[in-house]
Amino acid sequence: MGFKRTLKRDKRKFNKMLKTAVIDENPTFVTFLALCPTLGVTNNVANAIGMGISVIFVLAMSNVLVSSISRWVPDEIRIPVYITIIATLVTVLEMVMETYMPNLYTSLGIFLPLIVVNCIILGRAESFASQNKVKDSLFDGITVGIAFSLSLILLATFREILGTGGIAMLNIQIFSSENSMELFVQSTGAFLAFGILAWIISDLRMKQAKKAKKRRA
Amino acid sequence: MTIRRNKDFTKTNPNYDQAMKVFWYILLLICIVSLFINLTISMAFFIKALLIMITAVISSREAEILFFSHQKNADRASAKIAISETRPEITGLLIALLSPIGVPIFGVIITVFFSVFIVRNAFGGLTFNIFNAAIVGRIFMAAAWPVYMTSTLLASNLIDYILTSAFNVPEDTLSNAYLLKDFDVSGSVNVLFTNDVTNMLGAIPIIILLPLGIYLLVKKYCSYIIPLTTMITIMVISLIMSNFQGASFTYVVYNMTLGATVFAIFFLAVDPVTSPRGNYGKVIYGVLIAVVTMFIRILSTSIVGILFAILFANMLTPIINKKSTDVWNKGKIISISILIIFILGSSYFIQHQYTLILESESSEVSENV
């Protein structure tokens, strides 16, 4: 009976954290963290999903490890310790991916080893995992990872549809690739598309905040 | 709804509204000439060019109305009154005059929306924007649909398909007038009457374009310093280049007149919003445009080199405004001599790079043989 109740409570907690991570504190569109992989790998949806899953894995594992050893880590050397943990995880991920998913490995390229310096991962380790319990840290890692991958997929969908006229992964072709805007699959278009999406999202958020203020008053 | 104006700007340009009005009529005149030349080539080109112009003007108005009514929560009627003062049609028509004949109509609409909504208004609005909106629009167009930029009417979009099947379209109308890399320009081409309207609708013969530009200068609607310095610097650099490569004087005249050069210098570079305020600043601005143009022309293959050059100079305008003064002192003489050394040095640099490119090409050819 006790186990069931804990499960229910955890589920509620997880949902709440997921909502906070995806909507209120979205790592990409609200706090503008980790823009390098966001702009680099989102030229198609398949890459974005691969990157998202890698980040979820690394983030969850690093959060668990950091929160479980944080009691014994001296304050002065905590950042090097966290970096070592993250780098180990990324190296493992890289080796696994090279063996089992060589296509994704080549298309992600340099951005896969660069997960080590992804500021979301170090930021969550520093600000959340080192001060919280193992289970909460695991939840935090998964939810923030999901939020990050959802924003990657949103940006990649926007760019791929505009840039190639369809989504290659799902075999969808909306309009002819001759009429598509090639600019958006190039790196210049990444900045442009990100700017437009961030503009729309912050505009929506501001409107919502105004509405909430009116309701309160 | 009132429109905020840059105080510095209104102080230095008191007759800006009048200038915009005159500029609009001059652009309309260029449009009519361009349409007429298109008609002499083919009926299909005439209809396509007319469609591009009308679409650009309508969508620029719509984009500005949308921005005003969205940003300031105004209704459509008051937004319409507000745009009569800001004149977005000028940006729209400039984009139409910069676009090639092959661009699809939806491309024009997207470009104009991007240019008016983002470049013109989101970057500050009238008299506040950093970049010339029409140029950014043209470069966006070239980056988004590179296939359409260098071809005539393509059958892949509907309007072009209808036009090509209804009228006969000459196949080989696109010239390489922009690519002034060729040094063996010979023969007596009548520069005054050559046009390039299929590559860029505004590139009408300079016998019509030049008087219109000079009219603007004489009436003091825009500064004469920028076109003068740009032209002189282009002349100096191309003279040095032709001297080295053994080309005739025709090459120099080509560089100064052909393609979009005159149109861009007289109608885009002189825009008082995005060019420096002081006279000496304008000299630096003109020199920068000319040097970057020649860099792109000779060392690269981009057909919109001068537009990139103007954009680059726009980017440096604030720092030019800050660092340059119109007061004569010892520093000014040093600065002018540095400018002259910069022009000569960059032309020798271009020359050196060009010979390096030639050498590598010839060695590749010999390896292949």
Whether A181 and B104 lie within 8 Å, measured CB to CB: no
Q: Is residue A214 part of a domain?
A: no
Q: Vertex A126, ends A124 and A127: CA angle to 5°?
A: 65
Contacts 24+ apart (CB under 8 A), B350-359: B350/B237, B350/B241, B350/B294, B350/B295, B350/B298, B350/B299, B351/B240, B351/B241, B351/B244, B353/B298, B353/B299, B354/B241, B354/B245, B354/B298, B354/B299, B357/B299
- In this structure, the strands spanning A166-167 and A172-173 are antiparallel
Whether B144 and A184 lie within 8 Å, measured CB to CB: yes
Mean pLDDT of A72-91: 91
Q: Could you give the CA distance from residue B183 to residue B243 in angstroms, rounded to a whole number?
A: 10
Q: How far is B38 from chain A (nearest CA, A)?
A: 24
**pLDDT per position as a tens digit, B133-157:** 999 999 999 888 888 877 777 666 7
Whole-number Cα distances in Å, A106 to A98, A112, A169: 8, 9, 16
Residue ranges of chain B with per-residue pLDDT less than 70: 1-2, 154-156, 171-191, 259, 302-303, 368-369
Q: Is residue A188 part of a domain?
A: no
What is the reported pTM?
0.86
Q: How far is A189 from chain B (nearest CA, A)?
A: 9
Q: Could you give the CA distance from residue B109 to residue A60 in angstroms, rounded to a whole number?
A: 46
Region of B125 (left: φ > 0; alpha: ψ -120 to 50; beta: rest) is left
- Sequence-distant (≥ 6) Cβ neighbours of residue A168 within 8 angstroms: A44, A45, A46, A160
Mean pLDDT of A204-208: 89
Cβ pairs A/B, distance under 8 A = 25
Q: Is residue A210 part of a domain?
A: no
Chain B residues whose CB is inside 8 A of the A181 CB are 110, 144-145
Average pLDDT, chain A: 89
Whole-number Cα distances in Å, A110 to A96, B12, B87: 16, 51, 47
Q: Could you give the CA distance from residue B293 to residue A214 in angstroms, rounded to a whole number?
A: 55
Whether A179 and B104 lie within 8 Å, measured CB to CB: yes
Q: Vertex A147, ends A145 and A149: CA angle to 5°?
A: 70
Report residue B367 as tokens.
């390896």
Q: Is residue A178 part of a domain?
A: no
How would DSSP label each residue in B220-252?
TSS-SHHHHHHHHHHHHHHHHHHHHHT--HHHH
State the residue range of the domain holding A84.
14-157
* Chain A contacts to B (CB-CB under 8 A): 176, 178-179, 181-184, 186, 188-189, 196, 199
At residue A68, the pLDDT reads 92
Q: Point out which residues pair with A172 in neighbouring strands.
A: A167
At residue B177, the pLDDT reads 46
Task: Provide the domain count of chain A.
Answer: 1
For the beta carbon of residue B359, count every other beta carbon within 10 angstroms: 10
Q: Is residue A176 part of a domain?
A: no
Chain A residues whose CB is inside 8 A of the B110 CB are 181
Extents of the domains making up chain B: 7-166, 218-368
Instruction: Classify residue A182 by its DSSP letter.
Output: G
Q: Is the dihedral of CA A175, A181, A185, A191 positive or negative?
A: negative
What ipTM is given for this predicted complex? 0.82
Q: Is residue A193 part of a domain?
A: no
For the beta carbon of residue A187, count every other beta carbon within 10 angstroms: 10
Q: Could you give the CA distance from residue B160 to residue B200 in angstroms, rounded to a whole number?
A: 17
One-letter amino acid of A159: R
* Pick among B118, B119, B121 to test the A interface (most A CBs inside 10 A): B118
E-strand ranges in B199-343 read none
